[in-house]
Copies of this chain bind each other. A is one copy, B any other.
Amino acid sequence: MARRSDHTREELKDLILDTAWTIVGKKGAEGLTARNLATQIGYTPGTIYNIFKSMDDLYLQVNVRTLDKLLEVLNSKDCNDPKKSPAQNIKKVLGLYMEFAREYRPYWLMMFLHPLPEGRKKMGWYQEKIDRLFEPLENLLEPFFSGREKQKRKMAARVLWSSIHGLCLLQETGRISLVADKVPEAEMVSYLVDTFVAGIKDNK
């Protein structure tokens, strides 16, 4: 039996979350089971339930960590270089997104593919956090829209974001052989942005 004073409640929470993080990194979301996790930290399944309401709760916390990392990346200075054209900055931010999806694949897949718990509607704070994913793009699209086209700009950001998101999903799940005939994915991002941006300009 683990000594109950080995860790404070706070330490234990961190320990569980950290261990969960490395498990997901190594074996994916499927590998994150209560018993597996408990064994690794030298406790038993029940302990986890003293700290987290459920496994889904723990999954969510891992997702939050992933989301925070992603938001940090997308808000980096590199994506708002005044010396570069808007299109270049947009390419940069979308490229960073794609890079993140690959580098943190198991976490990223967990965030978007792993089954969600039922009562997910009550977590407004989580939704708001996710919605912040659009902000960098919205800002970068500013030069292309007038002040009263804010609505349209928001829509453009969401459509563009969905596009890159769809590309990543097909890429990372391997469900569809996207890069048929060996077209590098970076070229696809580039093509998407160039075409879309050109379309925005032209479509006014």
* Contacts from A to B (Cβ < 8 Å): 30, 112-113, 115-116, 120, 127, 130-131, 133, 151-152, 154-156, 158-159, 161-167, 169-170, 173-178, 180-181, 183, 187-188, 191-192, 194-203
Contact = CB atoms under 8 A, between A and B. Distances in A.
Given A159-B163, A166-B167, A203-B198, A175 B30 contact: no
Nearest to A204: B198
Helix, strand, loop or mixed for chain A's interface?
A: helix
Contact of A112 (B120, B175, B180, B188): B175
Number of identical monomers bound together in the oligomeric complex: 2
A159 B194 contact: no
Nearest to A111: B175
Given A154-B181, A165-B166, A198-B199, 5 more contacts: A120-B174, A127-B176, A151-B181, A158-B188, A159-B188
Contacts of A152: 191
A174 B183 CA distance: 31
Contacts of A30: 115
A178 B158 contact: yes
Nearest to A203: B198
A150 to B, nearest CB: 9
